[in-house]
């Protein structure tokens, strides 16, 4: 019974929040005293869309409102007639200067490296203006809807202004999810499209694969090699455990590398330089380690000493770079805070286990040396 009341309470709260947002949207008082018959509060980036649809000539008078806008910031709202997402978007742009003045214009987005330069759209925009009121930036425009259609994919975005020109917008979760659909007759809006969702799934897959391979399995494999071989009963099992763990990490890492390459090819113009460079170094180092395993000299070989230095140095470098790059990836993905906390918790747990095993290893090694000295001294005395 308690669970049922809890569910009903959550539904009630959700409805109240939704109703409040819609009421706030509809009750907004425009400085021009314009009345819009339809209004929707968009799900992210604190944005709202107001409009009047005129069926007689297939035009829409609309106002896009971004609440709580900073100075030196640009905002944009767009229709994507033939696709979803940023590329192909036909945008209405407002750029706020440091002095608070607002410039409005249209921009056709042809690629990810766009600077949102002024350009004509694929449909007519007879009028476009913008203003800043009480911290909100508003774009007013009249659109002649293409082909008499009423339902389109929409995109909206916010970014910084650098030296008077629009700069690259953020890549946080809200920025990535600022797309959907809008129907100017029914007033219905939809969530992000399949392209954005598919890409987000690939990003998540890429992140999980690499976090598991480089960020968890690699350190565990190194721990197996260092701490299991001190136990006589674990010889040579420690080597096979170490090799199997590192090989599994490499295979999973290759899958993560492949998804990263696919993401890069699908996102031309978007480059996370540090994450990309560290990933290339990691993959190269790990591949060298695989070849090193095949070229491993026997314990009594004169080159074994140098091979050990090479193998250990490369291995610890991979672990350090792996951890750094997992955090780089988490910053890019910008998931819920619990995921970064979970990975941090795993590292702390591995660190605690490492300290305990390191102390135990030294205890065992020193004890054996002491016993060997006693045995050796006894043997000399007996002789």
Q: Which residues have CB under 8 Å from 85's CB, separation 6+?
A: 155, 179, 193, 195, 196
Strand partners, 54: 59
Tokens of 308: 């050990």
Q: For residues 98 and 72, what is the distance between their CA atoms, to the nearest angstrom?
A: 5
Residues 222, 238 contacting (CB under 8 angstroms): no
Q: For residues 176 and 158, what is the distance between their CA atoms, to the nearest angstrom?
A: 11
Is 121 in a helix, a strand, or coil? coil
Q: Known binding site for heme b: residues? A: 206, 242, 275, 311
Is 31 in a helix, a strand, or coil? coil
Q: Known binding site: residues? A: 206, 242, 275, 311
Q: Which of 322, 185, 332 is nearest to 252 (CA)?
A: 322
Rg of the Cα atoms in the chain: 30
Beta strands (DSSP E) in the chain are: 38-41, 47-54, 59-66, 73-80, 90-96, 102-108, 127-133, 136-144, 151-162, 165-166, 179-183, 189-190
Q: For residues 271 and 216, what is the distance between their CA atoms, to the nearest angstrom?
A: 25
DSSP state of 96: E
């Amino acid at each position: 019974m308690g669970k049922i009341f809890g569910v009903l309470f959550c539904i009630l709260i959700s409805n109240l929040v939704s109703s409040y947002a819609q009421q706030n949207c509809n009750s907004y008082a425009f400085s021009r005293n314009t009345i819009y018959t339809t209004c929707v509060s968009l799900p992210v980036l604190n944005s709202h869309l107001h409009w009047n649809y005129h069926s007689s000539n297939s035009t829409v008078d609309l106002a896009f409102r971004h609440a709580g806008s900073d100075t030196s910031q640009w905002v944009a709202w767009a229709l994507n007639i033939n696709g979803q997402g940023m590329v192909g978007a036909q945008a209405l742009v407002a750029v706020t200067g440091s002095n608070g003045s607002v410039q409005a214009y249209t921009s056709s987005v042809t690629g990810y490296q766009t600077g949102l330069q002024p350009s004509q759209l694929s449909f007519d925009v007879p009028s476009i203006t913008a203003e800043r009121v009480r911290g909100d930036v508003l774009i007013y425009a009249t659109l002649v809807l293409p082909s008499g259609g009423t339902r389109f994919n929409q995109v909206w975005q916010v970014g910084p202004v650098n030296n008077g020109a629009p700069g690259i917008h953020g890549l946080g979760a809200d920025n990535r999810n600022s797309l959907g659909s809008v129907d100017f007759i029914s007033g219905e809006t939809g969530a992000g499209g399949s392209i954005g969702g598919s890409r987000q799934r690939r990003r998540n897959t890429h992140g999980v694969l690499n976090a598991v391979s480089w960020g968890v399995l690699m350190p565990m494999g190194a721990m197996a090699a260092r701490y299991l071989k001190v136990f006589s009963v674990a010889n040579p099992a420690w080597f096979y455990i170490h090799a199997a763990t590192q090989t599994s990490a490499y295979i999973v890492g290759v899958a993560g590398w492949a998804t990263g390459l696919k993401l890069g090819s699908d996102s031309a113009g978007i480059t996370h330089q540090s994450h990309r460079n560290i990933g290339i170094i990691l993959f190269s180092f790990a591949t060298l380690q695989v070849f090193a395993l095949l070229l491993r000299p026997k314990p009594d070989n004169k080159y074994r000493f140098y091979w050990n230095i090479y193998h250990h140095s490369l291995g610890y470098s991979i672990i350090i770079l792996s951890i750094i790059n997992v955090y780089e990836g988490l910053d890019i993905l910008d998931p819920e805070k619990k995921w970064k906390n979970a990975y941090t918790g795993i590292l702390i747990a591995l660190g605690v286990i490492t300290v305990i095993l390191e102390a135990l290893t030294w205890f065992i090694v020193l004890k054996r040396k002491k016993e060997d000295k006693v045995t050796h001294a006894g043997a000399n005395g007996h002789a």
